[in-house]
Amino acid sequence: MNDRYREPGQASGQTSLADIAAEAGVSVSTVSRIANGDLGRASAATVAKVQRLIAERGYRPNPIGRSLRGGDSRLVAMLAPNLDNPAMAAIAASTEAALRAAGYVMILCDTHDRPDLQDEYLRAMRSRFAEGFIVVSAVASPELEASLDRREPIVFVNRRNPYGGGPFIGIDNRQAGADAADHLLACGVRAPAVIHPTELSSTIRERVEGFLDRLEERRPGLTVRRYDGPGDNHLDCGYAASRRMAADGGWPDGVLCPSDLMAYGLFRAAGEQGVRIPDDCLPVGIDDNDLNDWIAPWLSSIKIPYRRFGDAIVTSLRDLRAGGSVGEVLLPHQLIRRRSGGETIEN
Amino acid sequence: MNDRYREPGQASGQTSLADIAAEAGVSVSTVSRIANGDLGRASAATVAKVQRLIAERGYRPNPIGRSLRGGDSRLVAMLAPNLDNPAMAAIAASTEAALRAAGYVMILCDTHDRPDLQDEYLRAMRSRFAEGFIVVSAVASPELEASLDRREPIVFVNRRNPYGGGPFIGIDNRQAGADAADHLLACGVRAPAVIHPTELSSTIRERVEGFLDRLEERRPGLTVRRYDGPGDNHLDCGYAASRRMAADGGWPDGVLCPSDLMAYGLFRAAGEQGVRIPDDCLPVGIDDNDLNDWIAPWLSSIKIPYRRFGDAIVTSLRDLRAGGSVGEVLLPHQLIRRRSGGETIEN
DNA sequence: ACAGTTAAGGCAAACGTTTGCCATGTTCAA
DNA sequence: TTGAACATGGCAAACGTTTGCCTTAACTGT
């Protein structure tokens, strides 16, 4: 192509089985077996010689050759919508670490929540011999359905399999909504409201339902104001919904924001209208973004242990590949109470 | 392995050249050539037949086979420290999009700023035939040096090549520091201070130097208080440095925080001590996190156009692989002024 | 009619692995 | 002494692709 910059790892690069074999005066098969720990198939002398050469030349098996042969590729694809969302970044970071610890390499694909991109990535990764898929906030798409039909190992995170079944990692969203309701009532909120995106995912729906059901249970007959907002991301949704809410009947004394980003949208709208948060209006979020402790001391939020998702995901993926039947893993959430001053009180 | 879950893309999966060839009654070579657009090597009838079959069976060339052969892998590795940092997430997201648009797939590796992990990933990616590397905030490491020696295509982002030279995407950090100084002076700050991490990267050093130099130029003889803070991340550094600053001589009327995260750390320390931000102490950040507009209306910050990094990175990578000599790309930054009320005034 | 050209397409090697099977040679028991 | 078992290790196919070179047949010009 050009002589200034070489392809990395190309022919002249890495030492291959053949190089070692030639130098040791044995066949590639023998070297391969020794490299893979099958030491009983060669004499002690041969094993020693080959092992020495492997160490000396820094031989590392080429994953490409391996995958082609049909062995494992040690590649796992993670499909996530929009990395800009700090929650996604947290999941990605913890999954990456867990996979690396298990000897895998993660390919991260940003699907922008679009079914067509999700499909494109599923195809691309399949033909790259990805050994498994982690789909965060999956959307229904033809290729996803096809993958499920082929019984490919797929772990769903955050949002359940739109076609039902399959392993799932997340929290008990209904319970989280109920906990949020309890929190608002405990803080003396009389007329709570709820905002949510116009387009409801199953995750958000469950949180809102859990919230409403718990309120109905504890305050029968109480009407809960409910506003939705349009937008690509939860920041915009939260902002738009809050403005609708303010225009419709003024600010309530408490609001469930089913994601922290929506709470940030509410915060902005409140600031613009001179409404003091949390004194005039007490929001409760779900996610508990790491930054809350630093710059959003006004936001109590239900912490989702995204840092722990990685391990759970890798465990599920392994069980799946081992043929075990894998169900849902619901990790524990926890309300983090914050007061405006910035002190955090964990219960 | 087991019959419940299959490897995706394995033998029984994707249609291969051989499948098409068998069905069309021609050789693999012919199909390969037609699939790659070399239409002059077969009769019109053959071309039509093969093209029809390719479309019908949904044939897509297997990238593994291609890479192995020595062709291109369309794989690019991005090594980033700590995805938790919103700035890194923004760079990763925009790069992913730009690479996908250019037909590449990005592998994202979290190096945690550790030289040994950076090395491990460089090796792993090289043997997977990555066509190029994007190293964000590179640290010096043996394998990086080796990669440079082999003239592999590496683009450095955010932090310059620790061994010097090579293409770089970033901003003019000295100028950004100077702009921050101008801003503080314009806001009437009399005795500005600066906080920074104890471990100085070249990026942060440049920002701080630009700040101090500009102050010396405009206010000769002015002594600028300077505090560093330990910690793994800039949040902790900023917090620790701020507390040191407060303990040492009280809060200044203005502070340069060479990253937004450090400003968040300062904000928390100020909140704990009852210091009002920005009224008592005016911070200026560098980065301009997207969330500032929503929940940090008190923070004026120098916006780094992370969203535009992706395109610049891909362009550099292409030029590099085409053999062109690629230098530094400094993208324009811009001060975003915010007032406590939340309104944004861009200049 | 014959050499030369062109069209059409197949052969086979190469990339790096893994693995079932075969080929030696040695040892051991009956 | 002869068969069996075992130790040691090589052969070759297979994965999917690309490409230099070869073959065959038809066509062209003289």
DSSP track, A226-269: EEEE--SSHHHHHHHHHHHHHHHH---SEEE-SSHHHHHHHHHH
CB A70 within 8 A of CB A41: no
CB B138 within 8 A of CB B161: yes
Q: pLDDT value at position B77?
A: 94
What is the C-alpha to C-alpha distance for residues A110 and A81, in angstroms, rounded to an integer? 5
Nearest residue to nucleotide D19 when comparing alpha carbons to its C1'? B29
Task: Report the DSSP beta bridge partners of residue A60.
Answer: none
Q: All domains of chain A, ordered by start, with CATH?
A: 17-61 (no CATH), 75-171+306-332 (3.40.50.2300), 173-305+336-346 (3.40.50.2300)
Q: A64, A144, A232, A264: which to substitute to probe chain B, counting the most B Cβ within 10 Å?
A: A64
Q: A1, A288, A295: which to substitute to probe chain B, counting the most B Cβ within 10 Å?
A: A295
CA angle in degrees (0–180, nearest 5) for A199-A200-A203 = 145
Chain B residue numbers with beta carbons less than 8 Å from the beta carbon of A294 are 235, 264-265, 267-268
Chain A touched by B83 (CB under 8 Å): yes
Chain A touched by B293 (CB under 8 Å): yes
Through-space separation of residue A1 CA and nucleotide C5 C1' in angstroms: 32
**Least confident window among A2-11, A104-113, B96-105, B177-186:** A2-11
Q: pLDDT value at position B322?
A: 81
With a 7 Å cutoff on the CB, does B32 touch strand D?
A: yes
Write the pLDDT tens digit of every residue in A77-97. Answer: 999 999 889 999 999 999 999
Cβ-in-10-Å burial (0-12, 13-18, 19+) of A81 comes to: buried
What mean pLDDT is reported for chain A? 91
CB B229 within 8 A of CB B241: yes
Q: pLDDT value at position B174?
A: 98
Lookup: tokens for B293: 């507009």
Q: HSE of B155 in the Cβ direction (CA atoms, 13 Å)?
A: 28
A108: part of which helix (H) or strand (E)?
A: strand A105-110
A282: part of which helix (H) or strand (E)?
A: strand A282-287
Nearest residue to nucleotide C18 when comparing alpha carbons to its C1'? A69
Using the beta-carbon criterion (under 8 Å), do B150 and A1 form an inter-chain contact? no
Cβ-in-10-Å burial (0-12, 13-18, 19+) of A96 comes to: buried
Chain C bases near protein CB atoms (7 A cut-off): 7-12, 14-20
Tens-level pLDDT at each residue, chain B (347 residues): 333 343 433 444 689 999 999 999 999 999 999 999 999 889 999 999 999 999 999 999 999 999 988 777 889 999 999 988 999 999 999 999 999 999 898 998 999 999 999 999 999 888 888 899 999 999 999 999 999 998 899 999 999 999 998 999 999 999 999 999 999 999 999 999 999 999 999 999 999 999 999 999 999 999 999 999 999 899 999 999 999 999 999 999 999 999 999 999 999 999 999 999 999 999 999 999 999 999 999 999 999 999 999 999 999 999 998 877 778 999 999 999 997 643 444 43
Chain A nearest-CA residue for B236: A294
> Average pLDDT, stretch A175-191?
97
Place of tokens 């002024």: B337
Distances in Å between the Cα of A220 and the Cα atoms of A126, A146, A154, A173, A252 are 51, 45, 42, 22, 19
What is the C-alpha to C-alpha distance for residues B2 and A29, in angstroms, rounded to an integer? 26
What is the C-alpha to C-alpha distance for residues A232 and B94, in angstroms, rounded to an integer? 17
Q: B295, B298, B338, B344: which to substitute to probe chain A, counting the most A Cβ within 10 Å?
A: B295
Out of A84, A294, A320, name the one closest to residue B290 (CB).
A84
Chain B touched by A63 (CB under 8 Å): yes
Neighbouring CB atoms inside 10 A of B36's CB total: 10
Q: Where are the alpha helices (DSSP H) in chain A?
A: 17-24, 28-35, 44-57, 63-69, 86-101, 115-127, 142-149, 173-186, 202-218, 234-249, 260-272, 292-295, 306-321
Chain A residue numbers with beta carbons less than 8 Å from the beta carbon of B11 are 70
Using the beta-carbon criterion (under 8 Å), do A64 and B60 form an inter-chain contact? no
B308: part of which helix (H) or strand (E)?
A: helix B306-321
Share in percent of chain B as helix, strand, coil (round to 5): 45, 15, 40
Nucleotide nearest to B33 (CA to C1'): D18
CA distance B152 to chain A (A): 6
Chain A residue numbers with beta carbons less than 8 Å from the beta carbon of B96 are 83, 108-110
Secondary structure in 3-state letters for A53-81: HHHHHCCCCCHHHHHHHCCCCCEEEEEEC
Chain B residue numbers with beta carbons less than 8 Å from the beta carbon of A62 are 127
Through-space separation of residue A50 CA and nucleotide C26 C1' in angstroms: 23
- pLDDT of A178 strictly over 50: yes
CB B284 within 8 A of CB B180: yes
Comparison of pLDDT for B224 and A11, the residue scoring more: B224
Lookup: tokens for B323: 């053999």
